[in-house]
């Protein structure tokens, strides 16, 4: 333990959660700050996590028939303005290119904050008949939103994401796509990121600019704040009318198609940090950990130890992403370093272990040590990796349960919001007025109307006392 402190001190969560978070981002070598305020450098370890997220998410997209494309980085101002609500939502926070080389451009170009307008413009060229539908497109790229307050992964002026854009012959198909993609996000969050989420619909106030409906997955962070972790939007035919996208349907009638979009970002890395991390640093779910197991030789100067560690590591590499740490530093220093970086399993091997034909495996989630016979590695390592993946999920699920509260009156809502970090469940009349008032008086925003478990807590709105329409999740949020 003394060793740990020697290595890389991080602020404790309890002392200052925000500082703990940025300490972990920097000291686990996920990011570095860049010369441009509000932008970040994603370092190899952080980017390897993103690659693991990307690969597994992309597989799910392709398995459901989606194809990747690449749209331009720039949107001409006139194109951005074609859909009224959309431009109002985004224009205040875009970066504008005004010069190419020495020359001033005839028309300003915005650096894409999202690409609905570009996709519509392209759909207009390639969709003519019902035979051309559906178009199920996705793109992996970076986008820019000129935010005032920024934090690594959570809110930065440039971030990496995927944006799905699909076009359908009927509203029903488009709606089904919107829900399908939200479910893929939820499944991904829970199975791959080990992060429980509430899936549901956003209120009108919280909808995406230009959408008819926005669906969301909402996760609960360690500090009790909610994090919107992925969204899926149904646009109806609003954009296709604005952009004059039309097709001849089976009855030979000219019709506007129906559209969706859906996105997740590098914010998911922030979600993982704040869901699973502890005062020793990051804790990574094995499914996305760049290194799933690190082999650390103990007393590696003693004859045979380094050789055995090397041999074991080669063997373990057939089971998972394994790495040998044969650097000069002390074992204690290495333990702390790999805990900081969230490596799910640590395998210790020293002279005594070799004598006993065993090794010690330590889990990152609960620090549990297991003495494992070297004959059993092939069964024990996959079992322990699963155990860490499940352990992280269950711990997060339990914490969320302990941090979800029901409010029946405005007073109760304010009291919970002030004193108990977490989700608040409460009934709502459906009026924007009450939503605004809850924000003002309790400091909470509506997170979503949940798909499942929309329990009936009472007949009346928590705010105005009028008949309630929905049970909502509320909370302070990132």
Interface with its own copies by CB under 8 A: which residues? 32, 34-36, 39-44, 47-48, 50-51, 67-76, 79, 91-102, 109, 111, 118, 121-122, 125-126, 137, 141-142, 144, 146, 157-158, 160
Cα–chain center distance at 139: 16
Instruction: Report in angstroms how near the CB of residue 146 gets to its own copies at its nearest.
Output: 4
Q: Encoding tokens for residue 210? A: 């230009």
CB of 122 to its own copies, least distance (A): 5
**Would you say 216 or 240 has its CB closer to its own copies?**
240
The CB-of-110 to its own copies minimum distance in angstroms stands at: 9
Which residues have CB under 8 Å from 30's CB, separation 6+? 24, 42, 43, 45, 46, 49, 152, 153, 269, 273, 282
Q: In degrees rounded to 5, what are phi and psi of residue 477? A: -140, 155
Write down the least CB distance from residue 78 to its own copies, Å: 8
Which of 92, 453 has the CB closer to its own copies?
92
The Cα–Cα gap between 189 and 353 comes to 38
Cβ pair 227, 477 in contact under 8 A:
yes
Query: In angstroms, what is the minimal distance from the CB of 102 to its own copies?
Result: 6
Q: Which of 223, 231, 36 is nearest to 144 (CA)?
A: 36
Six-digit token string for 185: 């996000």
For 17, the 3-state DSSP assignment is helix
Rounded to the nearest whole angstrom, what is the least distance from the CB of residue 128 to its own copies in the complex?
13
| Bridge partners for 141 per DSSP | 161
Cα–Cα distance, 235 to 230 (Å, whole number):
17
Shortest spacing between CB 144 and its own copies, in angstroms? 7
Report the first-to-last Cα separation within the chain, whole angstroms.
33
Helices (H), 317-408: 331-340, 351-356, 377-402
Structure tokens at 232: 């899926």
- 68 vs 402 by CB, closer to its own copies: 68
**Which C-beta is closer to its own copies: that of 71 or that of 154?**
71
Which C-beta is closer to its own copies: that of 85 or that of 147?
A: 147
**Closest CB 85 distance from its own copies, rounded Å:** 18
Shortest approach of its own copies to residue 387 CB, angstroms?
A: 29
Nearer to its own copies, 140 or 451 (CB): 140
Dist CA 89 CA 41 (whole Å): 27
Nearer to its own copies, 101 or 453 (CB): 101
Identify which of residues 215 and 243 has a Cβ nearer to its own copies in the complex: 243
Cα 22 to Cα 150: distance, rounded to the nearest angstrom = 11
What DSSP string runs through 302-327?
Answer: STTHHHHHHHHHHHHTTTS-EEE---
Pick 113 or 421: Cβ nearer its own copies: 113
Sign of CA dihedral 134, 139, 143, 145: positive
């Amino acid at each position: 333990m003394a060793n740990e402190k020697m290595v890389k001190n991080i602020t404790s969560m309890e002392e200052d959660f925000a500082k703990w978070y940025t300490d972990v981002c920097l000291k686990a070598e996920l990011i570095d700050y860049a010369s441009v305020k509000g932008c970040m450098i994603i370092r190899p370890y952080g980017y390897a996590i993103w690659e693991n997220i990307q690969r597994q998410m992309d597989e799910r997209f392709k398995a459901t028939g989606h194809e990747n494309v690449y749209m331009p980085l720039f949107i001409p101002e006139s194109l951005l303005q074609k859909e009224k609500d959309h431009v109002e939502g985004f224009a205040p926070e875009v970066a504008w290119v005004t010069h190419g080389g020495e020359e001033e451009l005839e028309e300003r170009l915005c650096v894409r904050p999202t690409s609905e307008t570009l996709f519509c413009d392209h759909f207009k060229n390639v969709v003519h008949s019902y035979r051309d539908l559906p178009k199920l497109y996705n793109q992996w790229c970076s986008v820019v939103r000129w935010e005032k307050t920024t934090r690594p992964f959570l809110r930065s002026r440039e971030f990496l994401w995927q944006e799905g854009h699909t076009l359908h012959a009927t509203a029903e198909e488009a709606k089904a796509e919107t829900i399908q993609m939200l479910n893929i996000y939820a499944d991904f969050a829970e199975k791959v990121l080990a992060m429980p989420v509430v899936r549901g619909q956003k209120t009108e106030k919280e909808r995406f600019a230009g959408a008819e409906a926005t669906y969301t997955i909402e996760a609960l962070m360690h500090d009790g704040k909610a994090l919107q972790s992925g969204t899926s939007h149904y646009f109806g035919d609003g954009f296709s009318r604005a952009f004059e996208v039309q097709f001849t349907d089976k009855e030979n009638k000219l019709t506007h198609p129906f559209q969706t979009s859906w996105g997740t970002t590098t914010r998911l890395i922030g979600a993982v940090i704040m869901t699973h991390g502890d005062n020793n640093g990051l804790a990574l779910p094995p499914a996305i950990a760049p290194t799933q197991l690190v082999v650390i030789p103990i007393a590696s100067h003693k004859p045979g130890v380094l050789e055995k560690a090397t041999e074991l590591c080669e063997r373990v590499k057939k089971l998972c992403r394994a790495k040998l740490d044969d650097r000069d530093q002390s074992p204690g220093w290495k333990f702390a370093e790999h805990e900081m970086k969230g490596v799910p399993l640590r395998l210790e091997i020293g002279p005594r272990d070799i004598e006993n034909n065993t090794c010690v495996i330590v889990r990152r989630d609960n620090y549990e040590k297991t003495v494992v016979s070297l004959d059993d590695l092939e069964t024990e390592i996959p079992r322990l990796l699963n155990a860490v993946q499940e352990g992280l999920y269950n711990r997060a699920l339990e914490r969320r349960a302990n941090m979800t509260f029901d409010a029946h009156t405005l007073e109760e809502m304010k009291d919970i919001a002030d004193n108990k970090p977490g989700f608040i469940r409460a009934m709502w009349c459906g009026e924007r007025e009450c939503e605004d008032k809850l924000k003002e008086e309790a400091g909470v925003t509506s997170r979503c109307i949940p798909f499942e478990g929309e329990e009936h807590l009472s007949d009346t709105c928590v705010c105005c006392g009028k008949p309630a329409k929905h049970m909502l999740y509320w909370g302070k949020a990132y």
